[in-house]
Amino acid sequence: MKADTGKYGLKRWVGAGLIVAFVLCARALGLTPGGLIPPDAGHWERTGAFFAAALDPAFDYEDENVPDEADPIWWKGIKGVFLTLKFAFGAMSLAVPTALVLGFLGSSAWWPEPCGRRARALLRSVYLVSRLFMSVIRSIHELIWALLFLSAMGVSPLAGMIALALPFSGTLGKVFSEIIDEEARDASQALKAIGHGPVQTFLVGILPRAMPNLVSYSFYRFECALRSSAVLGFVGIETIGLYIELSHEEFYYREVWTYLYLVIAMIVVVDLWGAAIRRRLHTSTGGCAI
């Protein structure tokens, strides 16, 4: 009973601390309820026009100067969706293999046991360097990476894919390493007992068990890559986000909602696909996937 009381008391103190921190941060930033209300009445008119356009998306361009030979807006949007998919696939095709290597190096599941002091120090150094590298590349948002690579390489598909692949490699690698470390070691211990090496034991005894969760989490990150790929359009890379940005700048809100609905449809389809894959993995393994 005393242990439970202490646990709930700690939770109350943590909750109170978070509230105090929020109040202090809000005061330091000058956040007030009045600051949430735009002083200009025109802001409310534009807000109303934007959300009203959601009920009447454009099936033709609002700009009268668009050439007659231009693609219909819905076909342009579908092309933008496929460009967004290409960027996400390209980024994930770079991120997943890199994350597998980083996840392996950032895990201790494959370490030989027993091992000498020097070998353990070397393995520990590899572990820490890998963890540090994953922390560095995922700590910088993909938009910042995109701005850096666009400045260095110009507006190119390769710059966009690398900008997405870097932080996703760090995030995937960290989670991969944790999934691997949390797997049961009974099979690997049995393989070690009959003379198999540490890497072989890892590849046969641990990785196959971890694979369903690795695949499941990769699908989730692919959905995130789709959204990030669309956002890259706001920094000049041609995805559907670029079309949204250009229409929004001209206050063509009906066009904006046409593109937004296509983005939503894309995410829903990919989410359903990922859910089907996860159900199949769950059924085939008889366990739970992330």
Q: In a 10 Å sphere around its CB, with 0-12 CB exposed, 13-18 middle and 19+ buried, how is residue 140 labelled?
A: middle
* Regions of the chain where pLDDT drops below 70: 1-9, 33-42, 114, 184-199, 282, 284-290
In a domain, 13, yes or no: no
Q: Looking at residue 274, what is its pLDDT?
A: 82
Per residue in 214-266, pLDDT tens? 888 998 899 999 999 999 888 888 899 999 999 999 899 999 999 999 999 99
Nearest one of 167, 161, 160 to 141, comparing CA atoms = 167
Q: Looking at residue 16, what is its pLDDT?
A: 87
Nearest one of 61, 62, 74, 57 to 257, comparing CA atoms = 57
| Sequence-distant (≥ 6) Cβ neighbours of residue 60 within 8 angstroms | 72, 73
- The rounded distance, in Å, linking the Cα atoms of 266 and 82 is 9
- The rounded distance, in Å, linking the Cα atoms of 185 and 205 is 8
Amino acid at position 201, single letter: T
Identify the DSSP state of 72: P
In a domain, 251, yes or no: yes
In a domain, 8, yes or no: no
- The rounded distance, in Å, linking the Cα atoms of 27 and 104 is 45
Cite the DSSP H helix spans in the chain. Answer: 2-29, 41-52, 73-105, 117-139, 142-153, 157-182, 186-193, 198-201, 207-231, 240-249, 253-285
Structural domain including 108 reads: 73-285
Q: Looking at residue 4, what is its pLDDT?
A: 56
In a domain, 138, yes or no: yes
What's the CA dihedral at 189, 133, 128, 185 to 10 degrees? Answer: -10
Cα-based distances in Å from 60 to 17, 51, 54, 66, 262: 53, 18, 15, 10, 15
Number of C-alpha atoms within 13 angstroms, CB side, residue 218?
A: 24
In a domain, 54, yes or no: no
Number of C-alpha atoms within 13 angstroms, CB side, residue 276?
A: 6
Q: Looking at residue 117, what is its pLDDT?
A: 80
In a domain, 94, yes or no: yes
| Sequence-distant (≥ 6) Cβ neighbours of residue 80 within 8 angstroms | 233, 238, 239, 240, 242, 243, 259, 262
Q: What is the CATH number of the domain that holds 225?
A: 1.10.3720.10
Q: Looking at residue 42, what is its pLDDT?
A: 64
In a domain, 290, yes or no: no
Q: How many domains does the chain have?
A: 1
Amino acid at position 196, single letter: H
Task: Identify the residue whose tokens are 């601390």.
Answer: 17
At 67, list the tokens.
């050439």
Nearest one of 210, 232, 186 to 86, comparing CA atoms = 232
In a domain, 226, yes or no: yes
At 132, list the tokens.
């540090």
